[in-house]
């Protein structure tokens, strides 16, 4: 291995001088390399990775099957644009995703590069299919940073505060977040109220929901809420869009989180872990809905890049052969046991929410008032980093510690990471 002579402080200076402060890094260190569930910084210090590049590395860093598929595709063609000539990796990946999508009947899939683009296009498809303008999304939801995706996002700090005006015909309603007082009944009542007082259901093209709020704090939507949402959509001819960008690809113990409720969405957005770090996103949906936009209405120069699609096909094989959704469920039970035991001893932990390997701990200063312990959360993350664990937080109040470790993480590294997290909480 080559010896690197660059120092952390040199690189920190470059960052400060040439990169705007608007893009933050959760941890002030410079990564040199990553493998499996481990990272090394430029000084050679090793970390266990519970962040996975924000939920992108479900198959782990540099999985040999991904690397091989990518290398083979690199030798053949790196880009032609699907809008000029089509290629097999795109078509095969569309087939594979349609096979696993929890949607009945004929399905189709289209690819883009980022999660935000997938969301934008899901809305375009829903509007074309219904001929209606309005879209409903949830408070606390996160759907990306482009203008329409940001308009759908329900969180001001840091995402929305400086960037309006936002797209019109977007309506927001409370997410069923029981810990903060929003039961299924209360959230449904507010949604029904929205449809009576603000926008006619006849004008609503779609409701967009994350089955488990990601950036909004790792809050699972109760299964009966998802079922009621489906009924409401059916009653009014609205489409249901499941944003599975963070929850998909095995993270919650099923390939798609929607499988937990058995509710079938009309459209699903995917990105993140789909191609193990290569920029790739997509929309999968009922064929007749997907075919609503006229030819030429959908696309993008880079969408469905052949190298990214080759990586995506390898990811599909790994998910199946290594049974990663099942592995996620096992990881989740180990993590949940630890979090619940910390919660018995540590008053700071107000709530523990676990769906497969998507586990979150909400930290509060007082269990009665539920005042968000945002500074304390930041301190736990910094202590964990010093001890060799990279982990992220989320939540509208930045007080939820969340796990997004690779699902391929070996048991000993999982235990080691949890030991560090436990010690950091104690500290
Ligand atoms: C649920 C969800 N939707 C959309 C996005 C946006 O994806 P991207 O950052 O790739 O545009 C994210 C990113 O965190 C997400 O978690």
Q: Catalogue all structural domains in the chain, each as residue range(s) with its CATH number.
A: 8-59+323-426 (3.90.1150.10), 65-321 (3.40.640.10)
Torsion angle of alpha carbons 51, 267, 82, 69, nearest 10°?
40
> What's the mean per-residue pLDDT of the chain?
97
CB count in 10 Å sphere of residue 334: 15
Question: 2 pLDDT band (50/70/90 cuts)?
Answer: low
Q: Say yes or no: CB of residue 144 within 6 Å of ligand 1.
A: yes
- Taking a C-beta distance cutoff of 8 angstroms, is the pair 284, 244 a contact? no
pLDDT score of 159: 93
pLDDT score of 398: 97
- Kindly give the distance from the C-alpha atom of residue 116 to the centroid of ligand 1, in angstroms, as a whole number: 6
What is the DSSP-derived secondary structure letter of residue 114?
A: S
| Angstrom distance (rounded) from CA 97 to CA 284 | 7
What is the mean pLDDT of the segment spanning 347-353? 98
- Taking a C-beta distance cutoff of 8 angstroms, is the pair 422, 414 a contact? no
What is the mean pLDDT of the segment spanning 338-361? 98
Q: Say yes or no: CB of residue 354 within 6 Å of ligand 1.
A: no
Q: Is the peptide bond before 158 cis (omega within 30 degrees of 0)?
A: yes
Cα distance from N-terminal residue to C-terminal residue, the chain:
36
What is the mean pLDDT of the segment spanning 204-229? 98
What is the mean pLDDT of the segment spanning 133-162? 96
Q: Say yes or no: CB of residue 277 within 6 Å of ligand 1.
A: no
Residue 383, token pair as written in the block: 């202590």
Query: Residue 403, Cα to own-chain centre: how many angstroms?
Result: 12
Question: 6 pLDDT band (50/70/90 cuts)?
Answer: confident
CB count in 10 Å sphere of residue 282: 31
pLDDT score of 4: 59
Q: Say yes or no: CB of residue 271 within 6 Å of ligand 1.
A: yes
Task: Strand 46-49: give its sheet, edge to edge.
Answer: 31-35, 38-41, 46-49, 389-390
| Secondary structure class of 44 (helix, strand, coil) | coil
What is the mean pLDDT of the segment spanning 107-126? 98
pLDDT score of 5: 75
Residue 33, token pair as written in the block: 């390399």
- Kindly give the distance from the C-alpha atom of residue 211 to the centroid of ligand 1, in angstroms, as a whole number: 13
Nearest CA to ligand 1 atom 13: 144
Q: Say yes or no: CB of residue 246 within 6 Å of ligand 1.
A: yes
- Kindly give the distance from the C-alpha atom of residue 33 to the centroid of ligand 1, in angstroms, as a whole number: 24
Helix H or strand E encompassing 420: helix 411-426
| Angstrom distance (rounded) from CA 385 to CA 325 | 27
Indicate the pTM of the whole model: 0.98
Which candidate, 52, 58, 33, 67, places its Cα nearest to that of 307?
67
Q: Say yes or no: CB of residue 120 within 6 Å of ligand 1.
A: no
Atom of ligand 1 nearest to the CA of 144: 6
What is the mean pLDDT of the segment spanning 4-17? 88
Q: Does residue 320 surpass a pLDDT of 70?
A: yes
| Secondary structure class of 143 (helix, strand, coil) | coil
Q: Does residue 1 surpass a pLDDT of 60?
A: no
CB count in 10 Å sphere of residue 318: 24
Question: 332 pLDDT band (50/70/90 cuts)?
Answer: very high
- Taking a C-beta distance cutoff of 8 angstroms, is the pair 170, 243 a contact? no
| Angstrom distance (rounded) from CA 360 to CA 297 | 39
Task: Strand 170-173: give its sheet, edge to edge.
Answer: 107-112, 281-286, 267-270, 239-243, 204-209, 134-138, 170-173
Higher pLDDT: 115 or 3? It is 115
Percent of the chain with pLDDT over 90: 97
Kindly report the CA angle at 241 between 284 and 213, in degrees rounded to 5?
A: 110
Q: Say yes or no: CB of residue 243 within 6 Å of ligand 1.
A: yes
Q: Say yes or no: CB of residue 303 within 6 Å of ligand 1.
A: no
Nearest CA to ligand 1 atom 8: 115
CA atoms within a 13 Å half-sphere pointing along the CA-CB vector of 106: 5
pLDDT in tens, 219-245: 999 999 999 999 999 999 999 999 999
CA distances from 108 to 81, 204, 209, 240 (A): 19, 23, 20, 16
- Kindly give the distance from the C-alpha atom of residue 155 to the centroid of ligand 1, in angstroms, as a whole number: 13
| Angstrom distance (rounded) from CA 338 to CA 360 | 12
Question: 427 pLDDT band (50/70/90 cuts)?
Answer: confident
């Amino acid at each position: 291995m080559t010896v690197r002579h660059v120092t952390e402080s040199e690189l920190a200076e470059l960052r400060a001088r040439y990169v705007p402060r608007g893009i933050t890094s959760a941890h002030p260190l410079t990564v040199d390399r990553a493998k499996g569930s481990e990272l090394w910084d430029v000084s050679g210090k090793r970390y266990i990775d519970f962040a996975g590049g924000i939920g992108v590395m479900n198959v782990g860093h540099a999985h040999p099957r991904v690397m091989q598929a990518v290398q083979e595709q690199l030798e053949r063609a790196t880009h032609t644009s699907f809008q000029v000539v089509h290629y097999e990796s795109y078509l095969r990946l569309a087939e594979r995703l349609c096979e696993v999508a929890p949607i009945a009947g004929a399905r189709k899939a289209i690819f883009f590069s980022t999660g935000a683009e997938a969301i934008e296009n899901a809305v375009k498809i829903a509007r074309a299919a219904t001929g209606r303008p309005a879209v409903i999304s949830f408070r606390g939801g996160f759907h990306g940073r482009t203008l329409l995706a940001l308009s759908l996002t329900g969180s001001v700090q840091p995402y929305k505060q400086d960037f309006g005006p936002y797209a019109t015909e977007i309506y927001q309603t409370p997410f069923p977040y029981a810990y903060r007082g929003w039961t299924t009944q209360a959230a449904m009542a507010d949604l029904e109220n929205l449809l009576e007082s603000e926008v006619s259901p006849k004008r609503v093209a779609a409701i967009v929901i994350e089955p488990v709020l990601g950036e909004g704090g790792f809050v699972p939507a109760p299964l009966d809420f998802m079922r009621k949402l489906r009924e409401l959509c059916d009653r009014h001819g609205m489409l249901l869009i499941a944003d599975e960008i963070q929850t998909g690809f095995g993270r919650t113990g099923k390939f798609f989180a929607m499988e937990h409720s058995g509710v079938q969405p009309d459209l699903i957005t995917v990105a993140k872990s789909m191609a193990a770090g290569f920029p790739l996103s997509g929309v999968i949906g009922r064929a007749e809905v997907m075919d609503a936009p006229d030819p030429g209405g959908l696309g993008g120069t880079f969408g469905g890049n052949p190298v990214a699609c080759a990586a995506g096909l390898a990811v599909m094989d790994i998910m199946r052969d290594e049974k990663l959704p099942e592995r996620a469920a096992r990881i989740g039970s180990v993590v949940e046991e630890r979090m619940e035991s910390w919660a018995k001893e540590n008053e700071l932990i107000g709530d523990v929410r676990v769906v497969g390997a998507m586990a979150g701990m909400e930290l509060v200063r007082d269990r009665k008032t539920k005042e968000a312990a945002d500074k304390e959360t930041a301190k736990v993350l910094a202590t964990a980093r010093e001890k060799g664990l990279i982990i992220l937080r989320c939540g509208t109040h930045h007080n939820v510690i969340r796990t997004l470790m690779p699902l391929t993480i070996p048991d000993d590294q999982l235990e080691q990471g949890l030991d560090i997290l436990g010690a950091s909480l104690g500290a």
